[in-house]
Amino acid sequence: MKFTTEFRDAKLAQGLVEAIRRKITRPWVIMEICGGQTHAILRYGLDEILPPGIELVHGPGCPVCVTPLEQIDRAVWIASQPGVIFTSFGDMLRVPGSDKDLFSVRAAGGDVRVVYSPLDAVRIAQQNPDRQVVFFAVGFETTAPANAMSVLQAQALGLRNFSVLVSHVRVPPAMHAILSSPGCRVQGFLAAGHVCTVMGYHEYPPIAGQYGTPITVTGFEPVDILRGIQLTIEMLESGRVQVANAYPRVVTFEGSRPAQDVIRRVFTGCDRQWRGIGMIPDSGWKLRPEFAEFDAEVRFPVSEIQTREPEDCIAGQILQGLKKPFQCPAFGTRCTPEHPLGATMVSSEGACAGYYRYHRDRHNLTEEPVSA
């Protein structure tokens, strides 16, 4: 497939691994921010072919994993109301709230629909004027422009029955939080290429400078990721603290101005809880006050919902790169993709799900046969 297979080329990949091997003189810890990168690394076995000195730790860049429990509970509550059509990206249906997920709501008769784009949700609102249509606007900077656009479009269409439940998070504050946490082992970052496609990478030089941590804007195909690792290792080995761009075919320094404009028109900064990590100041976006009529948290009485994070699982440490999924006692036994204990096992981009799907074999976890 054009523009994809080229970046999955085995010879190119081997060449990059060889170049990294020649350069590396001591162990390094590199964090890939994005869950999409984590999955590519595990899916293609990149961590297996890298020199042993490189430890990749998995960052918090999975929107499904870090969406706070109270927003899941609010989604479940709203979706359970009669007359509501609740629309969401597919992944979010499996994320457990305090005691229910959106699948359970659907099974109990709720109208929960998977959409591929928030604009589909706007269309559903147009087609169902007598129903309240709510879109679950989660994600990083990547999904924010289209989510913002859905609100602008609903406004332009004069829709009175469309609202969004917003839970947007941003990458740079999370990088600050990780780098300033006492147990931080991260020495270099692979920044999330899709986020940078929207936002550019002008926010990163101050972070790199402040913590002395090189950052490389990195894509998602095997060759992209290896190139990102190569540039990061070169900076680490030579003591240079810079921001490199290993994804220049997509990412520019400034990013997409029109996309950023749309985000700014609709959203404004806010503090945000990250599931498994905690409150990170100024790390999210919420709707601007002038769009309050499209805010599901205003339209529905959800502010008083009590949440309850159950015990178990180490997703918090995994999301901060402190632990690997197989270090969790529940991994692969009590906690599996269909019976997830934690958000990192729920999402197709979650680190635990990635390890479970692709590398269970390395950790002696054979599955129990289905009992008759």
Partner 1 sequence: MTMKPENQSLQSVNIEGPVCPTPLPHNDRIVLGHGSGGRMSHDLIARTFFAAFSNPALTARDDAARLLTSSGEQLAISTDSHVVSPLFFPGGDIGRLAVCGTVNDVAMLGAEPLWLTAGFILEEGLEIETLQRVVASMQAAAQEAGVQIVAGDTKVVQKGKADGLFITTTGIGVIRPGVNISGAGARSGDVVIISGPIGDHGIAVLQARGELGFDSDICSDTAPLNGLVSALLSANAAAVHVLRDPTRGGLATTLNEIARQSQVGILLEEDRIPVRPAVAAACEMLGFDPLYVANEGKLVAIVAPHAAQDVLDAMRSHAYGTEAAIIGRVEAGAPGQVLMKTAIGGTRVVDMLAGEMLPRIC
Sites for partner 1 among residues 243-302 (CB under 8 A):
275-282
Piece in contact with partner 1 (CB under 8 A), picked from 78-86, 247-255, 288-296, 335-343: 335-343
For partner 1, which residue of 79, 84, 138, 169 counts as binding (CB under 8 A)?
Answer: 138
> 351: closest CA among 131, 10, 37?
37
CB 135 within 8 A of CB 110: no
372: contact with partner 1 by CB under 8 A: yes
Please, which residue, 15 or 53, has the CB nearer to partner 1?
A: 15
75: contact with partner 1 by CB under 8 A: no
Q: Which residues of 272-309 are buried (b: 16+ CB within 10 A; e: fewer)?
A: bbbbbbeebeebbbbbeeebeebbbbebbebeebeeee
Q: What is the per-residue binding string for partner 1 in 338-357, x denoting contact by CB under 8 A?
A: xxxxxx---xxx------xx
Please, which residue, 121 or 138, has the CB nearer to partner 1?
A: 138
Please, which residue, 83 or 90, has the CB nearer to partner 1?
A: 90
Residue 185 has φ and ψ, to the nearest 5°, of: -110, 0
> 23: closest CA among 233, 217, 243, 204?
233
Q: Which residues of 85-112 are buried (b: 16+ CB within 10 A; e: fewer)?
A: bbbbbebbbbbbbeebbbebbbeeebbb
CB 100 within 8 A of CB 77: no
82: contact with partner 1 by CB under 8 A: no
371: contact with partner 1 by CB under 8 A: yes
359: contact with partner 1 by CB under 8 A: yes
User: Least Å distance between CB 54 and partner 1?
Assistant: 14
360: contact with partner 1 by CB under 8 A: yes
Q: How far apart are CA 31 and CA 17, in angstroms?
A: 17
For partner 1, which residue of 164, 196, 314, 351 counts as binding (CB under 8 A)?
Answer: 314
Distance of CA 113 to the CA centre of its chain: 21
Please, which residue, 117 or 128, has the CB nearer to partner 1?
A: 117
Task: Tell me which amino acid residue 126 is.
Answer: Q
User: Least Å distance between CB 110 and partner 1?
Assistant: 12
For partner 1, which residue of 184, 241, 270, 298 counts as binding (CB under 8 A)?
Answer: 184
